[in-house]
């Protein structure tokens, strides 16, 4: 028969809820998630733009859709995801230029990006409502 398989040491804990992620990992994962949200939302936003610019009736249709609370909540979420993706994208560009590459400065820049996104999310909420 075949060779005997050696018993290798393998990771025992694969439960992601018990693993403590560093703030930089969380920022990176959320940046990818916000990119997917932005990509999917682009079709919705382009449809709304096209419909609103097509005619006065199309504009009224889009405005009546935006009167719904759930739609406003989704629209706010889209704007927040877009803001997050832009802020973290700028952070990544700055890191590509050689700044904030150390562990401490990278963690600090991720925290600052979270705060900036929080402020932009509040501003987006004011815009939507």
- What residue ranges do the domains of the chain occupy? 25-128
Architecture of the domain spanning 25-128: Up-down Bundle (1.20)
Tell me the per-residue pLDDT of 94-117, one tens digit each, with 9 for 90 and over.
999 999 999 999 999 999 999 999
Please tell me what DSSP assigns to residue 102: S
Measured in whole angstroms, the distance separating CA 20 from the mean position of its chain's CA atoms is 20
Q: Is a pLDDT exceeding 80 seen at residue 3? A: no
Burial of 116 (0-12, 13-18, 19+ CB in 10 A): middle
> Does 31 show up as a binding residue in the annotation?
no
Q: Is a pLDDT exceeding 80 seen at residue 60? A: yes
Cα gap 123→129, rounded to integer Å: 10
| Percentage of residues in the chain having pLDDT higher than 70 | 91
Q: What is the mean pLDDT of residues 109-127?
A: 97
Tell me the per-residue pLDDT of 79-99, one tens digit each, with 9 for 90 and over.
999 999 999 999 999 999 999
Please tell me what DSSP assigns to residue 6: P
H or E element in which residue 29 lies: helix 23-54
pTM (2 d.p.): 0.82
């Amino acid at each position: 028969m075949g060779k005997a398989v050696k018993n290798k040491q393998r990771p025992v804990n694969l439960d992601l809820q018990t693993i403590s992620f560093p703030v930089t990992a969380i920022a990176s994962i959320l940046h990818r998630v916000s990119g997917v949200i932005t990509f999917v939302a682009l079709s919705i936003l382009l449809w709304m733009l096209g419909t609103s610019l097509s005619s006065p009736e199309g504009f009224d249709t889009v405005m009546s859709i935006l009167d719904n609370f759930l739609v406003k909540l989704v629209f706010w979420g889209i704007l927040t995801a877009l803001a997050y993706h832009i802020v973290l994208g700028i952070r990544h560009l700055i890191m590509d230029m050689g700044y904030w590459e150390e562990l401490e400065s990278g963690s600090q820049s991720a925290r600052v990006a979270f705060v900036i996104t929080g402020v932009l999310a509040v501003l987006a909420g004011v815009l939507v409502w």
